[in-house]
């Protein structure tokens, strides 16, 4: 199905390596200033949208695109901060098992990052949204794990499937990172995932999120970051999935979410 795969990324930098190895057919700028690119990778057509950073940008951009051209699947990619406790290394790839916006809930009596659930669902019939937890497509996540694990097995790139968290405040202390891990057990933190996941769930569009680690969550030491490696790995992951586009779409349309 033509252009049925929509890949979203917060910045052009995070997806540039994929564009460098794909055939770009056209590029447009939406009324809200978002870049939308129609491209093809090894005969698999797809669209890319640059949403801008943060949950609101991701939600607004994705909503606008869905209203104009409803995709069959939304794949979010880019870079993220890794939690050291997971054993993942910079440049490793993770697939979201779920997305959680950690600022959703009721503040407890004592100051804590562990909030009580809201008394209402953010999405009807999705009880976990009371805790800010939004779904991903389980079948596609499992298939992506297999595809990427097979693809990168000889390249010594570790691929994992685990919970992601979305933050609006970037973690810059080891103490906060340790607290976040003890409460949520995430493998990566990012700034857009829950916004996109929530919109995808509202529209009932299968959602998948794959990121590569550029740094460790915690003390902000840019000398230890490797953003070029992470952007390359994230794009390699997206390219590997596009090369298996027929399998992805078969899973999408042949099975229920």
Q: How many Cβ atoms are within 10 Å of 247's Cβ, its own excluded?
A: 14
**pLDDT per residue as tens digits for the range 86-145:** 999 999 999 999 999 999 999 887 767 889 999 999 999 999 999 999 999 999 999 999
Tokens standing for 256?
A: 């229920």
The confidence band for 1, taking pLDDT boundaries of 50, 70 and 90, is very low
Q: What gap in Å lies between CA 18 and CA 234, rounded to an integer?
A: 9
pLDDT of amino acid 251: 80
213 pLDDT above the threshold of 80: yes
| Distance (Å, whole) CA 144 – CA 95 | 8
Q: What are phi and psi of 214, to 5 degrees?
A: -105, -20
Strand partners, 38: 26, 47
pLDDT value of residue 242: 94
pLDDT tens digit sequence for 10-35: 999 999 999 999 999 999 999 899 99
Domain boundary assignment for the chain: 5-245
User: Which CATH superfamily does the domain covering 5-245 fall into?
Assistant: Nucleoside phosphorylase domain (3.40.50.1580)
Of the candidates 196, 199, 23, which has an alpha carbon nearest to the alpha carbon of residue 123? 199
Q: What is the pLDDT of residues 36-63, one digit of tens each?
A: 999 999 999 999 999 999 999 999 999 9
22 secondary structure, DSSP code: S
Contact assessment for residue 35 and residue 52, using Cβ atoms and an 8 Å cutoff = no
The model's confidence at residue 257, banded by pLDDT at 50, 70 and 90, is very low
Mean pLDDT estimate for the chain:
93
Mean pLDDT of 167-182: 94
């Amino acid at each position: 199905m033509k252009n049925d795969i929509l890949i979203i990324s917060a910045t052009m930098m995070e997806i540039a390596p994929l564009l460098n190895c794909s055939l770009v057919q056209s590029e447009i700028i939406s009324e809200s200033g978002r870049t939308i690119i129609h491209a093809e990778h090894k005969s698999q057509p797809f669209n890319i949208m640059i949403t801008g950073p943060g949950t609101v940008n991701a939600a607004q951009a994705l909503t606008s695109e869905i209203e104009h051209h409803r995709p069959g699947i939304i794949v979010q990619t880019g870079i993220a901060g890794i939690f050291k406790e997971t054993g993942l290394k910079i440049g490793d790839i993770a697939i979201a098992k779920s997305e959680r916006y950690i600022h959703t809930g009721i503040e407890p009596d004592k100051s804590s990052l562990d909030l009580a659930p809201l008394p209402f669902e953010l999405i009807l019939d999705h009880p976990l949204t009371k805790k800010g937890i939004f779904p991903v497509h389980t079948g596609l996540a499992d298939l992506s794990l297999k595809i990427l694990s097979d693809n990168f097995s000889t390249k010594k790139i570790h691929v994992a499937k685990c919970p992601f968290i979305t933050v609006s405040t970037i973690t810059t202390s080891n103490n906060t990172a340790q607290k976040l891990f003890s409460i949520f057990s995430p493998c990566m933190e990012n700034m857009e995932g829950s916004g996109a996941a929530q919109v995808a769930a509202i529209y009932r569009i299968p959602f998948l999120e794959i990121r590569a680690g550029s740094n460790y969550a915690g003390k902000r030491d840019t000398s230890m970051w490797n953003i070029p490696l992470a952007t390359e790995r994230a794009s390699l992951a997206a390219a590997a999935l596009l090369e298996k586009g027929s399998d992805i779409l078969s899973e999408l349309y042949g099975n229920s979410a």
